[in-house]
Structure 1
Amino acid sequence: MKLSVIILNYNVRYFLEQCIRSVQRAITTFEAEIIIIDNNSSDDSCSMVKKLFPHVTLIENKENVGFSKANNQAVAIAQGEFVCILNPDTAVAEDTFIKCFHYIEETENLGALGVYLMDGTGNFLPESKRNIPTPKASLLKLIGLGGSYYAKHLSMDASGSADVLAGAFMMLPRSLYNKVGGFDEDYFMYGEDIDFSYKITQAGYRNHYLGTAEILHYKGESTHKDGTYYDRFYGAMRIFYKKHFKTNPLFDISVNTGVFIIKAFKKSKRRKYRGKQPDRAYVFTENLNLLRALSETLDIPLKSSSKAIFQEENFANAMLIFDAEYMQYSQIFSIMKRFKGNNNQFRIHPPKANFIVGSDQSDEKGSVLVF
């Protein structure tokens, strides 16, 4: 078997369904398996998987064991030559894995491979490629001066070595995963991908970023940035530095002060944010039932459109709703990148689904509309 796609889920039932359907499209040309591991979700994620995807392997944990332990559980039963660690709040393009395999075949001494991550607003996520976060670089990022934190030697569309990849998508040989001991289970959530990337480089391999392969990562579903997030994230960084760097009391005091300040700033910023309602919605579909359901659910003017409109119109203050049965995910991603900004919002109707999903802010929960 060529590939095992490992998806760790926690209470994101609708995003998980889209993720699985997008992966199924992307693995039709080679032998692969999908393994879902659920960390004791309280929604109907597991029943959905059993009902809609009976051939997908499902592991149901009876408690939330965290990111590292859960992924290690799944990889332990994986059969693929390669494994791909994938977040549930993602969607992959039809050619994502194929592009990755081509790059892997052409690259010597490759460790893990990451790809271009785009959020729900069509913007590039800079954490797709990062440098090793020294204590100084991490503190600078904390106060908004993250110049050395991200791997800016590579443009977002380029490809090449990058020390640290995002845990939302990491593809590597299963043998290498096991060789470096998998994810460190001292981390519960956040920091695991940094530590894992670092262990791979310490083992003599080079991690790479592939800017021509894209995935959509809503991000807010798994990294909701409240006070708990910052406590956990910088707690994870303390673990990383304790394992791999020398720290001192002054460093710890600086981190604690920085976390306090950034939590207060983000809380104030969230209170000030107000999303603007789009003036109208465009639905790209040939499905009349979908069009009817949306017209009965949305409270803004709605227009059915074909893909040809993208050649003749510039969108502003509009909601663009893509039917993934009418358009490929690769086309949807391209259009989102092209029309990002101008107060546009994007929603996707996954294949065979009765809902649309999207996210208008990368550090807030996304939107699900069921009809």
Structure 2
Amino acid sequence: MQLSVIIVNYNVKHFLALCLKSVAAAVKNISAEVIVIDNNSTDGSVEMLQKTSNIQAILNKQNTGFAVANNQGIKIAKGKYVLLLNPDTVVAEDTFEKCIAFMEAHENAGALGVYMIDGKGNFLPESKRGLPTPTVAFYKMFGLSSLFPKSKIFGQYHLGFLDKNETHQAEILSGAFMFMRAEALQKSGLLDEAFFMYGEDIDLSYRIEKVGYKNYYFSDTDIIHYKGESTKKGSLNYVKVFYQAMIIFARKHFAQSSSQLFALLINFAIVMRGLLTLLTSLLSSSLLPLIDGALMFLGVYVVEIYWASNIKSAPEYYPEKFLFFIVPVYIAVWIISVLLSGGYERPYKISLTYRGLLWGTIFITAIYGLLPNEWRFSRAIILLGAVSSGVAMTFTKVIYNRIKHGKLSFEAEDKKNILVFAETKEAERIKNLLYQSGIDASIFVENRIQNLTATSRLFNVNEIIFSSASLSFKEIIEYIKTLGGNLEFKIVNPDSDAIIGSNSKNSAGDVYDMEKNFAIGNSLTMRKTRLADISIAILLLLFSPFFLLKKNGKKALANTGKILSLQKTWIGYCGNKNDHNGLPKLKPAVFLIDEIKGVEAGERARELNRFFASKYRVGESVKMLLKYLLQ
């Protein structure tokens, strides 16, 4: 047997299905086996693998980690060559044949990696890497490798000074695609299971070279790797896990004095990176509300000066505590109300901003009437302040859209223009999938490859969806690589209801899938649900004597503390954990949906849960709960 392909999967069912489809096409002309190890996935991957032919599936009962799972596959592999392949990859039909030919022509080659692109066609620098010595790791951790990527001194981690379009020796290969000679693997040993995630590919690459072989970066074939390193490195958890793996590597292969210094530098880098990540996250989520708050304060201040001077005829009419205590409280209430109303959800909708300001103003005026006279300054200031705040928030949204999208409008994004490349019947199926997945877009169809570029430009297309029934995977990869840049790309298999791609450098991948189109999973809906939960809990406490007399009231009152502390929600899924698979996660529930409806779901629990998740409305949920509590 020529080749053993080993894939470790964990909760990426749709990506795995696409990967297996491309692998099946790539092994048609060679003697090969495909071994898939699932690390206790809960997204339906296991059920899919049980129905998939021409593979060997190992179904673990726990997440054993990347190294352990790959070793399970390597131990039963029969091929002359062994490929470790990530499940979120797409390979070309001739990728494996080209790799085998290269290895056959280079007897000193122990392993090779290939030219990898992300879902938008960008080259992934982790396709080729140098040995992370303490010096090289220092340059990477402190950003020097990013500042000087082409430097032979500072750019050694990703070997940026080597032409990505030419084949080179490269000490370290990526575990996303690691094509190895089985003989070299026998001499170097299996993956070190001390590494749970990240670093094991570096360690194995280094050991292969230590036993006398050379590793190569092979540029003559391309693959897609959706979850490239650039999509993960913004995560603090990734930074911590990856750098700790580097410490294990250093202690294993470098002198003790060097490894101790290395560990010290890495721990320092983790702390600094953590602070930077936290600061970036805070700025990203809080910058617009902070600017809004500052402009709102300025607006209320102008209103206060005008009102005091021209209406009250007393410039010093309002005390300092009004301006520096009461006004900030007003502003905080308005901003929180806008937040809860979805006014800070992208794309920004100015109507939600105004709705939040209205509710905030109603709340402020209601509380205002309960305050003692010395704290009641002026209802007019509240109303005029709300108006000036609306002007301020409108201004920030307009400026944001001008900077971000180059237009002075309230809509953050134009309606997406999607081009579907497929034959007529398949194109109609894909269009239906898009509609059923809740994608709001103008959809165009093209089935002649020579017209692809022209049609994209003609209709200002933002995204292209390729059907693998109309083009080979090699052609799809080549077009993504060639057309990449501002365009987004997705791929759909003719036997799949999932449309797969990666549209953002900040996310691992995107799926248009009917299963994902759940109303209950929307972030705005979740915030409204939490607000409704808290409101009902307060209502229960206020009327506790009444609800204590009701059949279901005692249980509800006993859980108000956990509702108010956001540990629980009032209504949730029924059945067991398997009946929740593929659904948005909810907090533990006080009452189950079948309990609320008064009918035991039994074998239809999964069906009821899906119905509940897809048709969920906060108002309807509140009505159901109150009706149940009043029985």
- Give the TM-score range, shorter chain: over 0.9
Q: Which amino acid aligns with 1:92?
A: V
- 1:367 Cα deviation from its structure 2 partner: 0.9
In terms of fraction of residues, the more helix-rich structure is 2
Instruction: Check the 8 A contact 2:84/2:178 in 1, yes or no.
Output: yes
- 1:317 Cα deviation from its structure 2 partner: 6.0
Question: Does structure 1 residue 178 correspond to structure 2 residue 171?
Answer: no
Q: Aligned residue for 1:117?
A: 116
TM-score computed with the length of structure 1 as normaliser: 0.93
Q: Which amino acid aligns with 1:175?
A: E
Q: 1:138 and 1:308, CA in 2 relative to 1: closer, same or farther beyond 3 A?
A: same
Instruction: Check the 8 A contact 1:37/1:74 in 2, yes or no.
Output: yes
- 1:201 Cα deviation from its structure 2 partner: 0.7
Pairing of 1:45-194 with structure 2 (within 5 A): 45-51=45-51, 53-146=52-145, 147-194=155-202
Q: Which amino acid aligns with 1:239?
A: I
Question: Does structure 1 residue 347 correspond to structure 2 residue 490?
Answer: yes
Q: Aligned residue for 1:302?
A: 443
In terms of fraction of residues, the more strand-rich structure is 1
TM-score computed with the length of structure 2 as normaliser: 0.56
Distance 1:85 1:44 in 2: 22
Q: Share of identical aligned residues, percent? A: 41
Distance 2:185 2:158 in 1: 24
Q: 1:13 and 1:109, CA in 2 relative to 1: closer, same or farther beyond 3 A?
A: same
Alignment deviations for residues 288-321 of structure 1 (CA, whole Å, 9 cap, x no partner): 3223333454201010012222353565660111
Distance 2:508 2:95 in 1: 25
Q: 1:277 and 1:258, CA in 2 relative to 1: closer, same or farther beyond 3 A?
A: farther
Over 6 Å off, 4+ runs = none
Alignment deviations for residues 157-213 of structure 1 (CA, whole Å, 9 cap, x no partner): 111211110000011122221221111111111000100000011111000111111
Q: 1:95 and 1:267, CA in 2 relative to 1: closer, same or farther beyond 3 A?
A: farther
Alignment deviations for residues 245-275 of structure 1 (CA, whole Å, 9 cap, x no partner): 1326544332222122223334555674989
Alignment deviations for residues 132-177 of structure 1 (CA, whole Å, 9 cap, x no partner): 1111111211122221211234311111211110000011122221
Q: Specify the SS of the correspondent of 1:164.
A: coil
Distance 1:222 1:351 in 2: 30
Q: Which amino acid aligns with 1:303?
A: F
RMSD: 2.2
Distance 1:158 1:97 in 2: 18
User: What residue ranges of structure 2 are gaps of 5+ in the alignment?
Assistant: 146-154, 286-345, 348-412, 515-631
User: What residue ranges of structure 1 are gaps of 5+ in the alignment?
Assistant: none
Aligned residues: 369
Distance 2:491 2:261 in 1: 48
Higher RCO (CA-CA < 8 Å; seq separation 6+):
1
Question: Does structure 1 residue 227 correspond to structure 2 residue 236?
Answer: yes
Q: Aligned residue for 2:14?
A: 14
Instruction: Check the 8 A contact 1:221/1:364 in 2, yes or no.
Output: no
Distance 2:414 2:43 in 1: 28
Q: Aligned residue for 1:25?
A: 25
Q: Aligned residue for 2:430?
A: 290
Q: Which amino acid aligns with 2:470?
A: Y
Q: 1:133 and 1:370, CA in 2 relative to 1: closer, same or farther beyond 3 A?
A: same
Q: 1:62 and 1:295, CA in 2 relative to 1: closer, same or farther beyond 3 A?
A: closer
Equivalent of residue 500 in structure 2, options 348, 357, 369: 357
Q: Aligned residue for 2:209?
A: 201
Distance 1:334 1:269 in 2: 35
Alignment deviations for residues 102-136 of structure 1 (CA, whole Å, 9 cap, x no partner): 21122131110110111111100011001111111
Instruction: Check the 8 A contact 2:126/2:229 in 1, yes or no.
Output: no
Q: Aligned residue for 2:247?
A: 238
Q: Aligned residue for 1:258?
A: 269
Instruction: Check the 8 A contact 1:320/1:347 in 2, yes or no.
Output: yes
Instruction: Check the 8 A contact 2:446/2:455 in 1, yes or no.
Output: no
